[in-house]
């Protein structure tokens, strides 16, 4: 699972609810920690010492099926040592609402505004690159290349949203607030910016062409079609894409420290930079879902849609990975 979330719970965990974006995930892992507040440190103040007491791992689709079969919708998982049981309830939330972002109506907004409008905003860009992208990448280049899991480690959602709204109200104040945050906030803000674009960087129009190209088995032919499709991108999109790819390649050059190889970066940015239109998803889903045809129904379940979205995410990651490698090898110019 790409996203990393954590919580500290004193006693009752029944009220805790998490919503996590899957992003090319097939399984989840839960780590249970025990906190001991009785430990004394050198200054005679109480401090906490945490100890991982159990780990749980489950395939997402299997877990959803098990919850669906249980009368109370509860999944019970035993730890490998069978000394601890975890009861959870899982619910799949459809992604339909995220296919089309609604552009911001605020004239000075940064998030939720199309690239075309953002580039035409006074002082909104430098050399054709939106300033928000420049600022976030500058912070990651300076402080984040040695950070383990950069672009994978999540930050507090509420803090990120506050920063987002500050950028929309007063860009200069937003930059000041960002410099006071750690580098993981800058990394998450960059991802949020691309996710909030009304039209994804790779564009919905070319989505099918990119997916068709990446499924070609002949690598040379695949590269030719990918390069040709990239040439069809609007020059503004292409310039921003190349700037981002160059940055991600720099991140990967320290992968022995930050653990972010090109493959990992592609997993993070695939669903962030690519997004199909709702119509494309519907046509692709009903045209290719063999399981529905086999059981003689045209009514997709949540699990069917999740399976389709995971397959789409896989192709998105492969497209971004191929672009990263082409750019690294000097073939994408």
Q: Give the CATH number of the domain where residue 195 resides.
A: 1.10.555.10
| Residue that finishes a domain, picked among 61, 91, 121 | 91
Last residue of a domain, one of 91, 110, 129: 91
Stretch 317-327: mean pLDDT, rounded? 98
Q: Is residue 312 part of a domain?
A: yes
pTM: 0.73
Question: Does 74 lie in the same domain as 203?
Answer: no
Domain co-membership, 51 together with 134: no
Total structural domains within the chain? 2
Domain assignment present for residue 3? The answer is: no
Residue with tokens 């994804």: 200
Residues 66 and 141 occupy one common structural domain:
no
pLDDT at 75: 80
Q: Are residues 34 and 181 in the same domain?
A: no
Q: How far is CA 138 from CA 129, 145, 147, in A?
A: 12, 11, 14
Query: Do 232 and 254 lie in a common domain?
Result: yes
Rounded CA gap, 190 and 195, in Å?
9
The whole domain housing 39 covers 27-91
90-94, 118-122, 184-188, 232-236: which range is least confident on average? 90-94
Q: What is the mean pLDDT of residues 238-267?
A: 98
Per-residue pLDDT at 316 exceeds 80: yes
Whether residues 221 and 314 fall in one domain: yes
Residue bearing the bigger pLDDT, 100 or 50? 50
Residue 2 in any domain: the answer is: no
Examine residue 21 and state whether it is found in any structural domain, yes or no: no
Q: What percent of the chain has pLDDT over 70?
A: 72
Domain assignment present for 10? no
Do 321 and 210 contact (CB within 8 A), yes or no? no
Residues 177 and 71 in one domain: no
Residue 39 maps to a domain: yes
**Residue 284 pLDDT > 90, yes or no?**
no
Mean pLDDT of the chain: 81
Whether residue 147 contacts residue 161, with contact meaning beta carbons closer than 8 Å, is answered with no
Query: How far does CA 18 lie from the centroid of its chain?
Result: 16
Task: Tell me the pLDDT band of 30, cut-offs 50, 70 and 90.
Answer: confident
Q: Over the stretch 90-115, which tens digit does the pLDDT of each residue have?
A: 776 655 544 445 555 566 689 999 99
Contact 60, 22 (CB under 8 A): yes
Confidence of residue 34 (pLDDT cuts 50, 70, 90): confident
Q: What's the confidence (pLDDT) of residue 158?
A: 86
Measured from the Cβ of residue 94, the count of other Cβ atoms closer than 10 Å reads 10
For residues 85 and 231, state if they share a domain.
no
Residues 35 and 141 in one domain: no
* Tokens read off for 313: 């995410």
The verdict on 186 and 314 lying in the same domain is yes
Place of tokens 């803000």: 189
Q: How far apart are CA 324 and CA 155, in angstroms?
A: 25
For residue 17, being part of any structural domain is answered with no
Residue 8 φ/ψ region, left for φ over 0, alpha for ψ in the -120 to 50 degree band, beta for the rest: beta
5 found inside a domain: no
Nearest residue to 227 (alpha-carbon basis) of 313, 318, 322, 315: 322
pLDDT tens digits, 220-252: 999 999 999 999 999 999 999 999 999 999 999
Say whether both 124 and 239 belong to one domain: yes
Using the predicted structure, report yes or no on whether residue 274 has a pLDDT greater than 80: yes
Looking at the structure, do residues 118 and 84 belong to the same domain, yes or no?
no
The pLDDT of residue 295 is 44
């Amino acid at each position: 699972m790409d996203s990393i979330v954590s919580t500290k719970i004193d006693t009752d965990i029944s009220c805790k609810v998490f919503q996590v974006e899957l992003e090319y995930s097939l399984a989840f892992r839960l780590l249970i920690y025990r906190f001991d507040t009785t430990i004394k440190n050198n200054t005679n103040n109480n401090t906490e010492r945490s100890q991982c007491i159990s780990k749980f791992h489950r395939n997402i689709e299997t877990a959803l099926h098990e919850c669906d079969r249980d009368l109370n919708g509860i999944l019970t998982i035993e730890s490998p040592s069978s000394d601890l049981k975890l009861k959870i309830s899982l619910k799949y939330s459809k992604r339909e609402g995220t296919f089309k972002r609604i552009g911001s109506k605020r004239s000075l907004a940064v998030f939720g505004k199309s690239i075309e409008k953002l580039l035409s905003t006074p002082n909104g860009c430098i050399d054709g690159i939106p300033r928000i992208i420049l600022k976030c990448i500058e912070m990651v280049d300076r402080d984040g290349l040695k950070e383990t899991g950069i672009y994978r480690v999540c930050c507090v959602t509420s803090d990120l949203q506050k920063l987002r709204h500050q950028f929309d109200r007063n860009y200069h104040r937003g930059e000041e607030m960002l410099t006071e945050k750690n580098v993981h906030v800058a990394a998450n803000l960059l991802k949020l910016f691309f996710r909030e674009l009304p039209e994804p960087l790779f564009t919905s129009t070319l989505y099918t062409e990119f997916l068709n190209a990446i499924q070609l088995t002949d690598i040379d032919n695949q590269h030719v079609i990918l390069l040709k499709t990239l040439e069809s991108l609007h020059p503004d999109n292409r310039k921003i894409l190349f700037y981002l790819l160059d940055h991600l390649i720099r991140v990967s050059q320290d992968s022995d420290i930050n653990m972010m190889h090109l493959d990992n970066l592609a997993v993070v940015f695939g669903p962030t930079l690519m997004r199909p239109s709702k119509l494309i998803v519907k046509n692709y889903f009903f045209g290719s879902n063999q399981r529905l045809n086999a059981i003689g129904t045209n009514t997709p379940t949540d699990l069917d849609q999740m399976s389709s979205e995971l397959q789409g995410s896989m192709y998105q990651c492969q497209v971004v990975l191929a672009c990263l490698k082409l750019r690294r090898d000097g073939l994408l110019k």
